Amino acid sequence: MRYANQVLSKRAIVNAGGRRFETWLSTLHRYPETSFARMFPAPKHVQRSREFFVDVTPQVFECVLGFLRTGRLSLPTSNEQLRAEIVYSLDIWGLMEHAFPSALVSSSEAEGGGSDEGLTVLPDICVVQACDHMQHDQGVKRHALTITYGADGFQLRGLTQRIRRDLQKQLSSTYWQCYQTNERAAFFVTTKVANGTADLLTTSVTQQIVEHTEAMGYTLASSYVTLSPDVVHTSVRMFIHNFIFRRARLPVLELSDAAEADDGVDAVEAQPNITPPPVGPRRIVDDNAPLVPSKEMAAADIWTAR
């Protein structure tokens, strides 16, 4: 045991895609049962340090190494391709369940019996609904917003903490409250505030919903807003904002059209493009027509006296 501790306390140099990272070997072995840790075997001699090479994008390894050091994973929100590569690497390295820990639920609820505990599997598609009951009157508004996720395990406590940290920079919490109601829902409410301030608060909440879900390995696919028709002509309106997220994945490479079937690769059947019909006046070219019209085809001069 003492020898193992001495080995793991040594430094390791990792060349990730041409960029060198230096860290403790114990950091790389934070989750020793994963395939990621097995890529970095401990040296046989305590005095020697090891240098490893990993064929991966440097930004991907930097993000994973930061997670191993701090225990927190922060996915980029502006680069969808990089976010997909990070999620893919976490999956093949066996770090997905550690980076995105799901909420524990009893197997008696999932299977109808027993007392063992299991992990909730996050779905490939997540639907989030933000139902906003808004009351407006003479330049002021009051919002009561219910945030509902379509599945368990999305850590809504962390979402409410993000919302509170963001809104405290803009307005005192005397005018608003945000808290988690159950595993799938959270609630946000404001007092009567000015229209501009109310719009700013609800926009910030919407932004935090998107960033929180994307930080868990999802990307926003589409969103739309509906207005309840039965309250259009009253001072109370209900807006329902629906978000559809998909789990970030690497783009699948399409097969080449020139791939042959006898190579064991399924050929892609390509449909020929349909040539659109021409629009507007067209000139009909006749190869047999003379370049100069004949006298019979010439127009008569109406000004010439006959």
Tens of pLDDT, residues 82-119: 888 888 888 889 888 888 765 334 334 444 444 444 45
Q: What secondary structure letter does DSSP report for 173?
A: G
Six-digit token string for 246 = 């998909």
| Of the listed ranges 75-89, 132-146, 188-202, 263-277, the one predicted with least confidence | 263-277
Pick the closest to residue 156 from 139, 178, 180, 175 (CA basis).
180
Helix, coil or strand: residue 176: strand
Q: How many Å apart are CA 39 and CA 279, to the nearest integer? A: 63
Quote the DSSP letter at residue 14: E
pLDDT band at 266 (very low <50, low <70, confident <90, very high): very low
Contacts of 97 (CB under 8 A, 6+ apart): 119
Least confident of 205-219, 228-242, 274-288: 274-288
DSSP-derived secondary structure letter, 174: G
Beta-ladder partners of 20: 15
Calpha distance 77→137 (Å, rounded) = 37
| Percentage of residues of the chain with pLDDT beyond 90 | 19
What are the residue ranges spanned by the domains of the chain? 1-99, 121-247
Q: What confidence score (pLDDT) does residue 155 get?
A: 86
CATH match of 1-99 with 3.30.1490.20 = no
Instruction: Quote the pLDDT of residue 118.
Output: 47
Q: What is the average pLDDT across 244-259? A: 57
Residues 142-166: tens digit of each pLDDT: 889 999 998 888 888 889 999 999 9
What pLDDT was estimated at residue 252?
A: 42
pLDDT of residue 188: 92
**251 pLDDT exceeds 60?**
no
Q: What is the pLDDT of residue 100?
A: 74
Spatial contact of 38 and 30, defined as CB atoms under 8 Å apart: no
**What does pTM read for this prediction?**
0.52
Chain-centroid distance of CA 305 in Å reads 84
Nearest to 259 by CA among 268, 249, 246, 247: 268
Backbone angles phi, psi at 140, to 5 degrees: -125, 155
3-state secondary structure of 184: coil
In whole angstroms, give the CA distance from residue 169 to residue 191: 17
Q: What is the mean pLDDT of the chain?
A: 76
CA–CA separation, 193 and 169 (whole Å): 16
State how far the Cα of 138 lies from the Cα of 69, in Å rounded to an integer: 53
Amino acid identity for residue 270 in this structure: A
Compute φ and ψ for 41, nearest 5 degrees: -65, 150
